[in-house]
Amino acid sequence: MAESRRALVLYGGVSPEREVSLVSGRECAAALKRLGWEVALYDWRGDGDDFRARAAGARFVFNALHGGDGENGDLARRFEDVLFTHSPPGASALAMDKVQTREFAVSIGLSVPPGEIATCAEVRSGFEPFARPFVVKPIAGGSSIGVCIVGGGGDVSAMECGDDDDLLVEVFIPGRELTVSVLDGRALAVTELRSRTAFYDYEAKYSSGVTEHLVPAPVPEGVYRAAMEAAERMHEVLGCRGVSRSDFRWDEGGVVDGVVLYLLEVNTQPGMTPTSLVPEQALFCGMDFDALVARIVDSALSANSSNSDTMKAPLKKSNDADTSGAPVSLSSPSSSVTAPVKECDGDNKGGRVSLSSLSLSDNSLVKKSDMDNKRARCSSSSSLSVNSPVKKSNGDALSAPFSVGVAS
């Protein structure tokens, strides 16, 4: 009996990220149709019985939800007999919780901004544990919704939260925004995000012409490789599957105690819109949108055959000292990836880099040879010809699959 070629794309939802999810879902559904699947779209509104009936007979459910129970693992845990793409419930729950993500990061020797937990009422009443500017954000949430920079134009009184809701308050890390996509355990590329807004907020993520994406990020090679390594290790330690994206801040001018790279968060349901970062980095590695969607599906189907969904415990710290705010060493990860990302597999730079070994005074940008080596991690058959950092404005009229060009 032939296996089903039916696929259900779950999108929309009731979270604040609904509008983004609608776009992601439509793009992924179109790709699946081009790949030969019989596709139906399902706008999640909370009716479990209806969803189960619609999912019956589908080979898999492509999860294109962002935020809420579609991203925190609740849906996949509730419907454990349904095969969902992306990360398993345990990994999704951990990544969605920024406090737990921080704990896992520190447990493997990565640095995070100093932070504290406070209630919404405390923050609104003037609780300021750090010098301004500092960041206030929901513990669970995505697309930078609800993030406020106190002392940087943000208004905590406008935050939508209940008095007893816990919030994460962090030191604001100045510098440059970097992001790394990981597919099947291997990092694709590093993108620098240059936003015209105060920070890389919801408007910057999804409005055309607001943010410039530079692929590969024009940063020192040591920082580039350190970001790639850190993203791979977070993908592994959280137990992610398929695709994830890790966001960082690189403070090139205000180094404190040797730390130059800070993990901000990990996203297990990254956007798949025309302005999204994962499709852009995949294309940089020679993988068009359809191929990316196919890889995400293959990851789910392969995992289903082995039926593995392991909640990992935090790994032992790299040393006995508290690594929050201290120099960290990024050793080679212990992951054994059964299906490595061949497109981004080559590294001609001679091994991994310790952040503590970086020359902190070296703010030179990546040379052309360095960029060539970065692209060597991607497929040599890529149709891109990049001789300088790719500068793509969100204003480009992109559709999936899309192409990235060098802007003037």
Q: What is the pLDDT of residues 24-82, one digit of tens each?
A: 999 999 999 999 999 999 999 999 999 999 999 999 999 999 999 999 999 999 999 99
SS3 261: strand
Average pLDDT over residues 236-265: 86
Q: Do residues 73 and 13 both lie within one domain? A: yes
The yes-or-no verdict on residue 272 having pLDDT over 50 is: yes
406 inside domain:
no
Q: Do residues 322 and 364 both lie within one domain? A: yes
The whole-number pLDDT of residue 312 equals: 41
265: annotated active-site residue: yes
405 inside domain:
no
Q: Which residue among the candidates 11, 12, 15, 17 is catalytic per the annotation?
A: 17
Share of the chain above pLDDT 90, in %: 59
The whole-number pLDDT of residue 380 equals: 32
Q: Which residue among the candidates 267, 299, 324, 394 is catalytic per the annotation?
A: 267
252: annotated active-site residue: no
The yes-or-no verdict on residue 363 having pLDDT over 60 is: no
Give which of 316, 315, 322 is closest to 114, Cα–Cα.
322
User: And the tokens for 299?
Assistant: 């990851």
Report the C-alpha gap between 47 and 255 in whole angstroms.
Answer: 50
Q: In sequence order, what are the beta bridge partners of 259? A: 256
CATH of the domain at 164: 3.30.1490
128 inside domain:
yes
278 inside domain:
yes
Reported confidence tier of residue 2, pLDDT bands at 50, 70, 90: confident
Q: Do residues 132 and 237 both lie within one domain? A: no
93 inside domain:
no
289-306 helix and 277-284 helix, angle to the nearest 10 degrees = 100
Which of 43, 62, 84 delimits the end of a domain? 84
Q: Do residues 162 and 182 both lie within one domain? A: no
Of the candidate ranges 158-162, 211-215, 216-220, the one whose mean pLDDT is the lowest:
158-162
Order of strands across the sheet that contains 211-215: 261-267, 243-250, 176-183, 186-195, 211-215, 390-393
Q: Which residue among the candidates 11, 200, 206, 262 is catalytic per the annotation?
A: 206
Q: Do residues 23 and 56 both lie within one domain? A: yes
Q: Report the Cα 193 to chain-centroid distance in Å.
A: 13
Report the C-alpha gap between 196 and 176 in whole angstroms.
Answer: 13
42: annotated active-site residue: no
Q: Which residue among the candidates 69, 184, 221, 265 is catalytic per the annotation?
A: 265
126 inside domain:
yes
Q: Which residue among the candidates 21, 143, 299, 379 is catalytic per the annotation?
A: 143
160: annotated active-site residue: no
206: annotated active-site residue: yes
Residues 64/24, Cβ–Cβ less than 8 Å: yes
Q: Which residue among the candidates 27, 247, 280, 309 is catalytic per the annotation?
A: 247
Q: Do residues 336 and 217 both lie within one domain? A: yes
Residues 66/142, Cβ–Cβ less than 8 Å: yes
Q: Do residues 51 and 138 both lie within one domain? A: no
According to DSSP, residue 355 is labeled G
The whole-number pLDDT of residue 160 equals: 79
Residues 144/247, Cβ–Cβ less than 8 Å: no
Concatenated DSSP letters for 12-75? --SSTTHHHHHHHHHHHHHHHHHTT-EEEEEE--S-HHHHHHHHTT-SEEEE---SHHHHSSHH
Give which of 64, 108, 287 is closest to 188, Cα–Cα.
287
Which of 171, 199, 216 delimits the end of a domain? 171
- More confident of the two residues 223 and 141: 223
91 inside domain:
no
Q: Which residue among the candidates 241, 245, 249, 377 is catalytic per the annotation?
A: 245
CB proximity list for 247: less than 8 A, separation 6 or greater:
177, 178, 179, 200, 263, 264, 265, 266, 267
Residue-number span of the structural domain to which 294 is assigned: 176-393
Highest mean pLDDT among 24-38, 190-204, 344-358, 387-401: 24-38
The whole-number pLDDT of residue 384 equals: 27
Average pLDDT over residues 273-280: 92
CATH of the domain at 182: 3.30.470.20
Highest mean pLDDT among 134-148, 339-353, 376-390: 134-148
Q: Do residues 236 and 147 both lie within one domain? A: no
Q: Do residues 326 and 240 both lie within one domain? A: yes
Q: Is the dihedral of CA 148, 149, 150, 154 positive or negative?
A: negative
Q: Please tell me the total count of domains within the chain.
A: 3
- More confident of the two residues 180 and 355: 180
- More confident of the two residues 153 and 20: 20
273 inside domain:
yes
Cβ atoms within 10 Å, residue 64: 30
Cβ atoms within 10 Å, residue 399: 10
247: annotated active-site residue: yes
User: And the tokens for 348?
Assistant: 């001609």
Report the C-alpha gap between 301 and 303 in whole angstroms.
Answer: 5
Reported confidence tier of residue 375, pLDDT bands at 50, 70, 90: low
Q: Do residues 77 and 128 both lie within one domain? A: no
Q: Do residues 131 and 32 both lie within one domain? A: no
387: annotated active-site residue: no
Rg (CA), the chain: 20
245: annotated active-site residue: yes
The whole-number pLDDT of residue 372 equals: 53
The yes-or-no verdict on residue 208 having pLDDT over 50 is: yes
Token pair 């966001």: residue: 247
* Predicted confidence (pLDDT) per residue in 157-193, tens digit: 778 788 999 999 999 998 999 999 999 999 999 999 9
Q: Do residues 189 and 159 both lie within one domain? A: no
Looking at every residue in the chain, the average pLDDT score rounds to: 76
CATH of the domain at 28: 3.40.50.20
Report the C-alpha gap between 219 and 374 in whole angstroms.
Answer: 11
User: And the tokens for 194?
Assistant: 């240059």
Which of 134, 154, 171 delimits the end of a domain? 171
Q: Is 184 left (phi over 0), alpha (psi -120 to 50) or beta?
A: left
According to DSSP, residue 357 is labeled G
